[in-house]
Every structure is written in structure tokens, then in C-alpha cells.
Amino acid sequence: PETIVVQELANRMAERVADVVKALMKMGVMATMNQTIDADTAELVIEEFGHKVVRVSDSDVEQVIEQVEDKPEDLQPRPPIITIMGHVDHGKTSLLDAIRKTSVVSGEAGGITQHIGAYQVTTESGAVLSFLDTPGHAAFTSMRARGANVTDIVVLVVAADDSVMPQTIEAINHARAAKVPMIVAINKCDKPDADANKVRTELLQHEVVVEAMSGEVQDVEVSAITGKGLDELLEAIALQAEILELQANPDRSAMGAVIEAKLDIGRGPVATVLVQHGTLKRGDIFVVGEQWGKVRALINDKGERVDQAGPSVPVEVLGLNGTPEAGDVLNVVETEAQAREIADYRHQAAKDKRAAAGAATTLEQLMAKA
Ligand code: GTP
Ligand code: MG
């Protein structure tokens, strides 16, 4: 059965847990903040608070209530989150490196940059853009599978000397499934054997019609090596972002998605988190997947310690009790007891699910043998 812990429900709605308990009482449901309620009851509560229910997956306990809407007056503009995708070696990382070099604002240049796979850049016209470099699309896929759709725009990198390849097509399908607008960056245009028109024609076969072919998908010829077309690419992104009118509420308890996580010998578990709603602060208590923690330090993409991170900002989070997974959702909660409770609950639920899956397999195997 689909259930949710009362605290978690309050957290996802950014409402006080006491108010949620009160609302439940009015409906004749007596539950403490640590108790679970079923999805239908949760839905009634969500509507009672004037939020919208989005059911992401009916089968996944954790995703019964994935997102709630903020009140319009609480929303503020936020930077777009751009994921760079494309076939192996087509120049995703080089392109991102080149973009960062050309657009780092003076004063920041020369600083040691942490490689966290997520960066913010400021364009010459002052637009702030958040970039994700996702090798193998693993993070993107698992995040989408978990309903945490972090990407606003996909930049599809296609090398002009190699044209459309299997992972190019995969990336197109990802963007389509996620309903995310795409911008095509035709890279390596400095190479003598570069053929940008071949790329455009082959994209047509996959129903990607670029502007140069009278379609609606913006396409830009670039070179990560010479820097050709980079300003144009940034402009194309900024234009697309403007159309999307992206907003978030910075004044609620933070929620974000894990881009990558690792166990660092010196620092313990470290997660790179992209904040989606609210502002993550030092000292915040949080749950993230089956783990929980208290923010000991936040480190930005320039390797600097910061006190907080608002919507669309990628940061490294220190202070975790365990290593979460890419795609896990981070939610700030009120107390350590709650954090531990939710993490334990999730851990148990995941264990039960695995056990059930294991049992089903065994049964299948038995049937197959019979
Ligand atoms: P994966 O992360 O392994 O999928 O690769 P990637 O897409 O990030 O490609 P990467 O940036 O690592 O570049 C692959 C190779 O192509 C490197 O040797 C780059 O120097 C080269 N390269 C990337 N962009 C350009 C370009 O615009 N022109 C030329 N001539 N070479 C490039
Ligand atoms: Mg790369």
C-alpha cells in the first residue's frame, strides 16, 4: 500500500507538521508526525492546504507525493539548469570547460576549481546558468526514474566529424521523454573533416529539425578548442531559458537532487546536490534517500565554502551519515529524530521491497523448474 510519514508530507508541502496533524484531526484521522498515512488521505490533506498532487509513480512508496506547488506570490526567478548530453568523446566536458573559461567573471578566474560535474556560469549579459555534465547519462536517467526532473534544457553535443551516433540518439530520447527543450551544439567545427550539414541531415532522420533546416530546434556550430560559437551557444541557452520563465521559492525548507555522491577518505560521505526549492543552509538537518545528516559544510563549484545555496545552485554537502545515490532527493526536516525516523522508514521499505522482489524471483525459478 502507498503510504507516507506525516512529517515527510508536511516537509514536501513546506507546511508545519503541527498544522498537518491538526488538518488530519479535523478529518478524523489521529496520527502523530512519525506515523504513516495512506496516499488517499495524504491527497486530501494536500488539497486542504491548497497544493497540487502530482503522482509520479503508483508503485513507489517514496514517490507518492513528489512535488507540491508553491503559492505564486512566493516564487522568484531562478537560473536554468542545463544538462550537456551526447555521444562519448563528442566533447561534452571540453565544451563545458571552454564555456566556464570564457564566462568566469573577473576575480574568480585563476581559482582552483573543484570537479563536481555541476557548475554555474555568468554570461557577458549577466545571465546565470547552471550546467550539469553527466557522463553516461546515469544520473540523468536515475533522476528521471525517481521523478526528480532536474533538467530544464538539454544541450545535445554532436561532433561534426562523427555525426549522429548511438548515444546521440539515446540523448534525444531522454530529452523527449523528459519533455525538455533541446539545443544542438555541433562541436569540433575546427576539424578539417567537420561536416555540420551532415549532422543536421542525420538529426532529421530522428525527427530533430534544427533552425538551419527551417525547424524549431536551435542549432549552433561550435568548437571547444578554438572557442568558436560559444557566445552564440550561451545566447541560445539564455533565450530558451527566458521562454521557460523558470521560478522557485527560495524561502522554504530546501529540497534538492543528488547529482553524484561518494565516500571521501578525508571528508566522509560527500554528495553534490542541486538545490531545486528553498535555500540549503549550514546546520540544516536533512534526509536524503535512505541517509540523513546535518549540513557541516557547503562547498560551491569554485571550491569555496559557502553558508547557503538557493534554487538551481549546485553544492557539495558534507555532514552525511552515509553515502546516498545519484537521483536521491534531499529534504530538510526539523529535527534529527525526524530525519533518523524517515531514513529508517525508507531503509526498511527498500529492504522489504528487495525481499519481495527476491521472493518473486525464487517463485518464478521454482515455477520454471516445475
Ligand atoms: P565522455 O565524457 O567520455 O563521453 O567524452 P566527452 O564528450 O566529455 O568528450 P571530451 O570533452 O572528453 O573530448 C573528447 C576528445 O575530443 C578530447 O580529446 C578533446 O580534446 C577533443 N575535442 C573536444 N572538443 C573538440 C573540438 O571542438 N575540436 C577538436 N578538434 N577536438 C575536440
Ligand atoms: Mg566527459
pLDDT digits (tens, 9 = 90+) for 167-182: 899 889 888 888 899 9
CB-CB contact of 324 with 273 (8 Å): no
**In 10-39, which positions are buried (b, 16+ CB within 10 angstroms) versus exposed (e)?**
bbbbbbebeebbebbeeeebebebeebbeb
Q: Take atom 2 of ligand 1 and give the residue whose Cα is closest.
A: 135
Please give the Cα distance from 63 to 124 (Å, whole number): 40
Q: Choose between 137 and 42: higher pLDDT.
A: 42
Is there a binding annotation on residue 28? no
pLDDT category of residue 1 using cuts at 50, 70 and 90? low
Please give the Cα distance from 92 to 261 (Å, whole number): 21
CB atoms within 10 A of CB 189: 22
pLDDT of 305-326, one tens digit each? 999 999 999 999 999 999 998 8
Bridge partner residues of 119 (DSSP): 131
CB atoms within 10 A of CB 55: 14
pLDDT of 71-98, one tens digit each? 889 999 999 999 888 888 899 888 988 8
Is there a binding annotation on residue 89? yes
Average pLDDT, the chain: 84
Q: Would strands 182-187 and 218-221 be described as parallel, antiparallel, or unpaired?
A: parallel
pTM, two decimal places: 0.76
pLDDT at 105 (0 to 100): 41
Q: CB of 190 closer than 6 A to ligand 1?
A: yes
Is there a binding annotation on residue 136? yes
Which amino acid, residue 88?
A: V
Q: CB of 188 closer than 6 A to ligand 1?
A: yes
pLDDT category of residue 370 using cuts at 50, 70 and 90? very low
Please give the Cα distance from 234 to 123 (Å, whole number): 7
pLDDT of 355-365, one tens digit each? 776 665 555 55
Give Cα separations from 176 to 76, 172, 234, 303 (angstroms): 27, 6, 22, 34
pLDDT at 239 (0 to 100): 93
Half-sphere exposure of 24 (CA within 13 A, CB side): 25
93 CA distance to ligand 1 middle (Å): 7
Q: CB of 191 closer than 6 A to ligand 1?
A: yes
Is this complex scored with an ipTM above 0.85? Answer: yes
Q: For the chain, what percent of residues have pLDDT higher than 70?
A: 83
Q: Would strands 153-159 and 81-86 be described as parallel, antiparallel, or unpaired?
A: parallel
